[in-house]
Amino acid sequence: MTVNTDYDIIIIGTGAGGGTLAHRLAPTGKKILILERGSFLPREKANWNAKEVYQKERYHTDEMWYNLGGKSFRPGVGYWVGGNTKVYGAALLRMREQDFDTVAHHEGVSSAWPLKYRDFESYYTEAEKLYNVHGLQGEDPTEPPMSEGYPHPPVSHEPRMQDMSDGFRQQGLHPFHLPLGIKLDEVNPEFSPCIRCNTCDGFPCLVHAKADADVNAVRPAQQHNNVTLITQAKVVRLHTSASGREVTGVETEIEGQSQLFTSDTVVVSCGAINSALLLLRSASDQHPDGLANRSNQVGRNLMKHLATAILALSTKPNPAVYQKTIAINDFYWGEPDFPYPMGQIQNTGNVLGDMIPAETPAVLAPLVKLVPGFGLEQIASHSTGWWLQSEDLPDPDNRVRVMDDKVCLEYKPNNTKAHDRLVQRWIKVLETNDHSMQPFIIPMGIYPRNSIPLQAVGHQCGTCRLGEDPITSVLDLNCRTHDVDNLYVVDGSFFPSNSGVNPTLTIIANALRVADHLQDRMK
């Protein structure tokens, strides 16, 4: 095995966590090696082709994972420079202030974070700048205190979306502009990198106008001579010293060859599931249950949100080109007769004809029957997509395991009543909007619901949670493993509970926070 010894720090993975960390550390002049199992995502017309992206899953891994019953499935994740941010919807929200405290839910409790919102506030502000977030402060009734407004103005609603937003407001709700990380200049559209197209959420951005970790973090980091990125470099195992207290080697497969890299500090940023897998697969005599797993917590408390996509069909066309602009948090903490968190509502990206067979196979046939003469394209052009997400609670039995070298996800949804209530509540709101706004709406609004299956692990987090107690947590407050002095995990793994908002801005803010600690450590 070739041995390469020249680095101060090795970062494994280039997603929201690893990519951001590399960006922040690059100007330090320290010798940084980034190892990424994927390559740069190809720029090709297929980036924006719904059939390729949704039906053929062109950018997903072809790995197979296994569920609790031993059934295989293909996970909805991709391995690229930039990780899953290459295809994310770029909805970048801060966690609410109370999300950091213990929260009573209908079916249990979500644990308090040992860090508080105030520990993250300045990093959220920086994260919003680094990832070009557009939004409007003061609209969202659950918004946490912000020391600065959003760095960019909100992404405007197109007329049909504005109608809907006005309708929600007439119902007493407080719709707000969804905070989005895109490079859009609506004042000077001729100079705007973002062209407000209909293939954003779920698609790679062909014109590199989505603020993803590849374009916003990794590429700028590479401008520094002290940063080396090796792509198609899959890390398979971490080696430790005889005491087990230090990582001494990062074993990596590159073009079929094993190579060993060494550095003073090693950061695992493979995404919550793959980071846990790497630690579990690095078991040794000193760490028989997996590296840094004295607590037996590695891989446990996997969370991924309870999510439902609703396709709301109307007789009125929806010509809006970029539809993902509205969000609603009025039910985030519940409602008068249900004082428990229910979750958040936001638009999905546009509903496109070629997405429907992939996204809603079970409801497609009855849908087409109910609306005679409507083909896929007509359904799509008269639809609006809504994404409803609720917090799933940390459960040690929801976990990632390696069995006979197979990847197993054991995950049973919990807190489902709160989520179901959100779905039913939202359907009522949509029906009221349709009737009040449009006399020609189909009298029985049709809202096929598609509960998100196991393979949808886009919002994966947990698995290596942080905490002060090494018995119940894997990482200390700086995301260093309790058991191994020079080993850090910096991605979605650290979440002790996952709140009801999209995870990525918190992953980015945390990476900036840990980077400051690492800079001090490397001085």
Ligand X SMILES: Cc1cc2nc3c(=O)[nH]c(=O)nc-3n(C[C@H](O)[C@H](O)[C@H](O)COP(=O)(O)OP(=O)(O)OC[C@H]3O[C@@H](n4cnc5c(N)ncnc54)[C@H](O)[C@@H]3O)c2cc1C
Task: Report the residue number, 261 or 434, with the smaller CB distance to ligand X.
Answer: 261
User: By CB under 6 A, is residue 330 in contact with ligand X?
Assistant: no
| Of 274, 314, 350, 433, the one binding ligand X by CB under 6 A | 274
Where in 1-40 is the site for ligand X (CB under 6 A)?
12-18, 35-38
Nearest CA-CA partner of 494 in 515, 475, 468, 513: 475
**Window contacting ligand X (CB under 6 A); options: 104-112, 185-193, 266-274, 368-376:** 266-274
Q: Is 87 in the site for ligand X (CB under 6 A)?
A: yes
Identify which of residues 32 and 445 has a Cβ nearer to ligand X in the complex.
32
CB of 268 to ligand X, least distance (A): 8
CB of 499 to ligand X, least distance (A): 11
Q: Is 500 in the site for ligand X (CB under 6 A)?
A: no
Residue ranges of the alpha helices (H) in 153-223?
159-170, 213, 219-222
Number of residues binding to ligand X, judged by CB under 6 A:
39
Of 75, 154, 175, 202, the one binding ligand X (CB under 6 A) is: 202
Residue 143 has what DSSP assignment? P
User: Which two structure tokens, joined as six digits, stand for 337?
Assistant: 């007769």
The pairing of beta strand 326-328 with beta strand 227-230: unpaired
d(CA 225, CA 91): 32
Of 51 and 316, which has the nearer Cβ to ligand X?
Answer: 51
Is residue 135 close enough to count as binding ligand X by CB under 6 A?
no
- Of 65 and 382, nearer to ligand X (C-beta) is 65
Are the C-beta atoms of residues 436 and 326 closer than 8 Å to each other?
A: no
Binder to ligand X among 9, 25, 47, 85 (CB under 6 A)? 85
In the list 413, 492, 496, 500, the residue contacting ligand X (rule: CB under 6 A) is: 492
Question: What does DSSP assign to residue 408?
Answer: E
Residue 344 CA to residue 327 CA, distance in Å, equals 8
Q: Are strands 449-451 and 180-181 parallel, antiparallel or unpaired?
A: unpaired
Our CB check for ligand X shows the closer of 434 and 491 to be: 491
Least separation in angstroms between residue 380's CB and ligand X is 18
- What count of residues does the chain have? 523
- Torsion angles phi and psi, residue 413, rounded to 5: -60, 145
Stretch that binds ligand X, among 26-34, 291-299, 391-399, 501-509 (CB under 6 A): 501-509
- Provide the token pair at 176: 């707000």
84 touching ligand X, by CB under 6 A: yes
Does 347 sit near ligand X (CB under 6 A)?
A: no
> What is the β-pairing status of strands 247-254 and 257-268?
antiparallel
- Does position 269 interact with ligand X (CB under 6 A)? The reply is yes
| CA–CA separation, 242 and 111 (whole Å) | 36
Residue 402: what are its φ and ψ, rounded to 5°?
-110, 120
Could you please report the per-residue DSSP string of 62-111? Answer: ---EE-TTS-EE--S---BTTGGGGT---B--PPPGGGGS-EEETTEEEP
Residue type, 267: V
Which token pair is 108? 């249990």
CB 515 within 8 A of CB 24: yes
CB of 475 to ligand X, least distance (A): 14
Site for ligand X in 423-462 (CB under 6 A): 458-459
The answer to whether residue 123 forms part of the interface with ligand X (CB under 6 A) is no
C-beta nearest to ligand X: residue: 15
Q: Nearest distance from residue 392's CB to ligand X, in Å? A: 14
Asked if residue 238 binds ligand X (CB under 6 A), the reply is no
Residues in contact with ligand X by CB under 6 A are 12-18, 35-38, 76, 79, 83-85, 87-92, 202, 234-235, 269-272, 274, 278, 458-459, 491-492, 502-504, 507
